[in-house]
Amino acid sequence: MDSAKETDGASLSIAGLLELDEVWAAEPEVLASAAGLDRAIRWVHIADSHHVERFLEGGELVLTTASAFRHSPAAMTEFLDQLERVGAAGTIIELVDEDSAFDEAAGSVVRAAASARDLPVVILPHRVKFVRITEHAHRRLLAQQISRLEHAREIHETYTQLSLYRAGAQTIVERTAELLGTPVILEDVAHRVLAHAGRGSAALAQKWADLVTGASTAPGVEAARDWRQTPVGMRARRWGRLVVPGPAESTAALDQIIERAGEALTLTRMADRDEQDLLLQAQSGLIREIADSEVIDESTARARARSLGFAPVEDAQFLPVVVRLDRDAETGPTRIQLQERGLTQEIVAAAARLDLCVLTTSLQSGAFGFILAPTEARAAGANKRNSSRPGGSGPSGGPDGTGDPGRSTGSDADALLTGLLREVEEYAASWVVGVGRGSASLLDAVARLDSASQVAEVASTLDVRERSFYRSSDVRLRGLLSLFADDSRLRAFAEGELGPLLGSVHEGADAEDLLGFLELYLAHGGNISAMARAGYLSRPALYARMTKLQNRLGVSLDDAESRTALHVALLWWRMNG
């Protein structure tokens, strides 16, 4: 049942009152704004004074005999002006004399005053007992108010129950569609459909992004800008919208339903997030305990991880991953913490969608890690796909029957991680991902989070990032140097190689310019043409700087060992100086 429409259909209008037997028998004549007769009446008021404005608040139907001013064009005009100023629904004027005959003179005055008005003006040429009109109208209006109260109570109880029983988003959307009798769509901030319900919602969901951006239209559906909608999520962190694709005509019942639905969705998400936060904290505690303890064995670690929702397929390959968020001097710790928390939750949600499981841990401000593995559901899906291929594998998984679909190879793990990161790529401005070597042991995978963290830290210093994630083989010399970042011997080596330039830095000379030129030289392998193009230098200027640099350093840049030593020293200095 379309509850919202039923409530609106019960609204009392002037046209409805004119159909009363008592009024219809009085032969009502509409003098102005016949189109406005469908206006809803808030109340019925009787007045015989032309000073009526102070008694009205808007939406009233005014019944009057106008006996005190019906023969005064100015007074009648002022009376109607007052009704228009306060937003009255309209007026019904009984124009009969003492003998109950129609007052022709008064009729002429009212017709002139009502001409071309937007206010509905109706005259009655026969006597009517106003008490019959008010009695009927007030009974209808009170019944309407009671119906609205009952409907509001139904809405309140419906969404309160949905919230108390932790109903999912799809259930809330389905109930909302039932109450409204229209399709309802729940989308996220990227216009992806999270849930939909109601007749025709599936067709809308298929091309939703194009509909909301105006790239396409759907038959019988108004433009997206005219749809009824309500934001979902706390004010500071809106995560979606609940949308009713259809005419923009606003009704109290419709607005109340979608607002309560939005609140229920917000509460459900908040409860889910709170529960998820507790779970993530427990997972983080387990990883720290595994890393610090020498008594937890493999079976114990797996059993405890499974109790915390980490349920990989048997004999899965565990992949240690660390995500490091980019930050600058203007990024406060609170914002970094919110970004880290939000991205962690999105990765967990995306993993669930892809039939993957993750065991997460917070490492430091702006960095978190997780162990990634496929679930039994994903392995079952892979088995099904393999067995359906002509000449494909049997139950053992490999083409020759020797493979194991549960065990991920290096390339399989890369594919899983690539798909997971693609799911969440829009949820943060920028981050870098480091990956450690996979292992069939959960204990080893947890231990290798440290190496993944080092890779992520080194990768964050790269000027150009061409990969969605990095391994130690990708960061190469930078990775090696990062392992010795705090080694005083390496610092002494770097300062020894670059000493003539570093001393001038502290003296405020042009050494930084020479450091940049050395970096340019090493980056292009001493190729003069490439250096000239990259540095926007003429060849004479280039040779002059090379001579100055070699004189300052006291070594020849033609010597391979000197170039290597300088390259290592400069790279370490840029990373740690």
Strand partners, 61: 44, 90
Asked if the model's pLDDT at residue 394 lies above 70, the reply is no
Q: Residue 268 and residue 24: Cα distance in Å, rounded?
A: 54
> pLDDT category, 358, cuts 50, 70, 90?
very high
What does the pLDDT read at residue 278?
A: 67
pLDDT average, residue stretch 328-340: 70
CB 345 within 8 A of CB 237: no
pLDDT average, residue stretch 198-216: 79
> pLDDT category, 506, cuts 50, 70, 90?
very low
Q: What amino acid is encoded at 129 in this protein?
A: K
Per-residue pLDDT tens for 273-321?
666 776 788 888 889 989 888 888 999 899 888 888 898 998 889 999 9
> pLDDT category, 9, cuts 50, 70, 90?
very low
Name 177's Cβ contacts closer than 8 Å, sequence gap at least 6.
Answer: 183, 184, 197, 198, 201
What does the pLDDT read at residue 80?
A: 92
Lowest mean pLDDT among 109-113, 208-212, 236-240, 528-532: 236-240
Asked if the model's pLDDT at residue 365 lies above 90, the reply is no
Q: Residue 566 and residue 577: Cα distance in Å, rounded?
A: 14
Strand partners, 350: none
- Chain-centroid distance of CA 169 in Å reads 14
Q: Residue 504 and residue 502: Cα distance in Å, rounded?
A: 5
In terms of residues, how long is the chain? 577
- Chain-centroid distance of CA 187 in Å reads 8
What does the pLDDT read at residue 205?
A: 84
Name 550's Cβ contacts closer than 8 Å, sequence gap at least 6.
Answer: 556, 557
Could you give the angle at which helices 511-523 and 539-553 cross, rounded to 10 degrees?
A: 110
Bridge pairing between strands 356-364 and 367-374:
antiparallel
Lowest mean pLDDT among 102-106, 347-351, 398-402, 510-514: 398-402
Both tokens assigned to 287: 């990883």
Q: Residue 518 and residue 412: Cα distance in Å, rounded?
A: 42
What domains are there in the chain, each with its CATH number?
A: 3-142 (3.40.1390.20), 166-272 (3.30.450.30), 293-473 (3.30.70.600), 488-576 (1.10.10.2840)
Q: Residue 194 and residue 529: Cα distance in Å, rounded?
A: 55
Q: How many CB atoms lie within 10 A of CB 181?
A: 14
- Tokens 């609940």 identify what position? 242
Asked if the model's pLDDT at residue 134 lies above 50, the reply is yes
pLDDT average, residue stretch 427-455: 87
> pLDDT category, 370, cuts 50, 70, 90?
very high
Asked if the model's pLDDT at residue 6 lies above 50, the reply is no
Helix, strand, or coil here: 197? strand
> pLDDT category, 401, cuts 50, 70, 90?
very low
Q: Residue 337 and residue 342: Cα distance in Å, rounded?
A: 8
Q: Residue 334 and residue 281: Cα distance in Å, rounded?
A: 18
Helix, strand, or coil here: 342? helix
What does the pLDDT read at residue 481?
A: 65
What does the pLDDT read at residue 224?
A: 63
The closest alpha carbon to 262, from 209, 195, 211, 214, belongs to: 195
Per-residue pLDDT tens for 543-566?
888 888 888 887 888 888 877 888
Q: Residue 134 and residue 46: Cα distance in Å, rounded?
A: 9
Q: What separation in angstroms does the CA of 60 have from each of 44, 91, 116, 134, 441?
A: 5, 8, 20, 12, 78
What does the pLDDT read at residue 408?
A: 47
Mean pLDDT score across all residues of the chain: 79
Asked if the model's pLDDT at residue 160 lies above 70, the reply is yes
Asked if the model's pLDDT at residue 156 lies above 60, the reply is yes
Q: Residue 199 and residue 342: Cα distance in Å, rounded?
A: 34
| Residue 235 φ/ψ region, left for φ over 0, alpha for ψ in the -120 to 50 degree band, beta for the rest | alpha
Sign of CA dihedral 307, 310, 451, 273: negative
What does the pLDDT read at residue 431?
A: 87
CB 393 within 8 A of CB 406: no
- Tokens 């002494």 identify what position? 492
pLDDT average, residue stretch 506-512: 52
DSSP class of residue 365 equals T
Asked if the model's pLDDT at residue 491 lies above 80, the reply is no
Write b or e for each residue in 315-352: b if 16 or more Cβ atoms lie within 10 A of its Cβ, otherwise e: ebbbbbbbbbbebeeeeeeeebeebbbbbbbebbebbe
CB 245 within 8 A of CB 185: yes
What does the pLDDT read at residue 407?
A: 43
Per-residue pLDDT tens for 240-271?
889 988 654 556 678 888 888 888 888 777 66
